[in-house]
Amino acid sequence: MHSQSAASVRSASRALLFAGALVALSSVGAAPARALSDTEAFYKGLEGLSAADREKTLVEGAKKEGTVVWYTTDGPTPTQVVIKAFSQKYPFVKAGFIRGKSQDILDRITTEARAGRNLFDVAKTSTETFDMYPVADVFAAYVSPAKTAIPENMRAERWSSVFTFVRAMGYNSRLLKESDLPKTWEDLLDPRWKNKILFDPSSLPEMMTLYTRWGRERAIDFVGKLGASGNLQIRNGRTTITQMLAAGEAPIGMTVYPYDVEALKSKGAPVDWALIDPSPGLLQPLSIARNAPHPYAAALLYDYLLSTDGQKVYAQMNRTPANPAVETSNPRERAAAKDPRIVFDTSGGRGSGTEEMLKVLDEKILKKKPKG
């Protein structure tokens, strides 16, 4: 029964991996050939259609399906706002969702896939963890007409970013003037920041940004100094750090989400943010399941989220839409996303660097002996 089909999926995927490895060996540079899944074959078939025919086909199919299942990293309120907007346009599709962190969602997706159960249609994750999972096994290659509006460095065969984040230095604007702010990571070593910098333990993207910009030696050397400086106070969770900055617990937070800071600032909280060189930019990849149970509705939701309408919904919530033509309510973050100090990197090729920097972060910053 199920275990049987799971076994056949497993053996099939093993065969595919093997075939893929052969192809990759013989034709370096070409995308590894994999047999198309039913979902992928269906989308391939749509590619010849005109925009109107395509929409008509999808709408008719989605009416029969009636449901779409979305796994998302969005918070409770944004999820509801986006789904409301979607169901206004397509009232015949009921969108169900699961929310979680990117890691939770990908853990779940890969487990379900290994068990041979196809339960989700669309997933939104984060580049922070994206590349650490067998993406090609669980997400479909999909050419969406909506995808073309997204800059090329923010999309690939199996995903496209819906919006972007930058991570910046947050500060309490009552305790610090803009002119006193550190400009680079090296400035953070200054003894006057003793115990004054709130630092999130999940800072792999920050570490990798240093690694990419500075190279291995310099990055490792610097992280060691930062850990030994006694300037960092470890705080779990960037949103907590932002709240703590607003409350005046410490003057600086490394790093925070500007949209989060802007939301508090607009309510009158004494917080602000600034870029520090270099800082990470993160993508929010949207993907369709390789074996989607509702492929018609999945394509509708996916295309909607990347369309101008969908992008506007995100923009109204202070996010920076991936489509550069869509105005945002947070122009500062949009400008920051284009700033040369920001490194957008999906980390695909960094391999051993990731492992090494994670270890350095653990050993030099998180597990060092308590001071005094």
Partner 1 sequence: MYSEKQTGAPASRVASLGSDAGARHGASALPRFPAWIAALSPPRIALWGLVAAVVYLTLVPLVMVIYGTFTDGPPGTDASFTFANYIDAFGGEELYQSGLNSILFALASGALSFTVGCFLAWVTERSNAPLKPLIYFLVLVPFVLPGILSTISWIFLLSPTIGVLNQIVVATLGLAEPPFNIYTFSGMVWAFGIDHITLPFFLMAAAFRSMDPSLEEAATVSGMGPFRTFYYVNLRIMLPSIFAVCLLMFIRGIETFEAPAVIGLPAGINLFATEIFLALRRAPTNYNLAGTYAVAYLAITLIGVGLYLRVTRGAERFVMITGKAYRPRNIDLGPWRFAVTLTSLAILTIAVVLPLAVVVWTSFMPFYSTPSWGMLGLATLDNYAAIFELEEFYRASTNTLITGASAATIAVLLSLGIAWIGIRTDIPGKRLLDMIAFSPIAMPGVVLSLSLVWVYLTLPIHIYGTLWILIVAFVTKFIPISLRIMHVSLLQVHKELEEAAEIANPSPVRNALFVLLPLILPGMLVGWLYVLTLTFKDLSIPILLSHVGTDLLPVLIFGLFQSGELPRLCAMGVLLTLMIAAIAGSTRYLATRLSVKAGE
As given in the structure block, the two tokens for residue 83 are 């789904």
DSSP string, 324-349: TTS--S-HHHHHHHTSTTEEE---TT
**C-alpha gyration radius of the chain:** 22
Question: Is residue 6 a contact point for partner 1 (CB under 8 A)?
Answer: yes
Among 37, 57, 87, 110, the residue binding partner 1 under the rule CB under 8 A is 110
Q: How far is the CB of 143 from partner 1 (least distance, A)?
A: 27
Residue among 39, 118, 127, 129 that touches partner 1 (CB under 8 A): 129
Task: Return d(Cα 67, Cα 296) in angstroms, integer.
Answer: 10
Q: Which residues pair with 344 in a beta bridge?
A: 281
Distance CA 303, CA 174 (A): 44
Query: What is the C-alpha separation between 274 and 285, in angstroms, rounded?
Result: 25
Positions in 324-363 near partner 1 (CB under 8 A): 358, 362
- Strand locations in the chain, DSSP E? 67-72, 94-99, 122-124, 155-156, 159-166, 168-172, 197-199, 232-234, 252-256, 271-274, 279-288, 320-321, 342-344
Token pair 């030696």 in the structure block, residue: 217
Task: Mark residues 67-106: x for contact with partner 1 by CB under 8 A, - for none.
Answer: --x----xxxxxxx---------------xxxxxxxxx-x
> Binding string, 222-261, against partner 1, x = CB under 8 A?
-----------xxxxxxxx-xxx-xxxxx------x--x-
Interface with partner 1, residue 27, by CB under 8 A: no
Binding range to partner 1, per CB under 8 A, among 52-60, 109-117, 136-144, 340-348: 109-117
Query: Distance (Å, rounded) from C-alpha 92 to C-alpha 63?
Result: 6
| Binder of partner 1 out of 166, 169, 264, 322 (CB under 8 A) | 264
Interacting residue with partner 1 among 263, 309, 329, 353 (CB under 8 A):
263
* Cis peptide leading into residue 78 (ω within 30°): no
Residue 148 or residue 239: which is nearer to partner 1 going by CB? 239
By the rule CB under 8 A, 283 interacts with partner 1: no
**Residue nearer to partner 1 on the CB measure, 177 or 369:** 369
The residues with which 252 forms a beta bridge, in sequence order, are: 171, 197
Binding site for partner 1 (CB under 8 A): 1-3, 6, 10, 14, 69, 74-80, 96-104, 106-108, 110-112, 114-115, 117, 119, 128-129, 132-133, 201-202, 233-240, 242-244, 246-250, 257, 260, 263-264, 267-269, 358, 362, 366-371
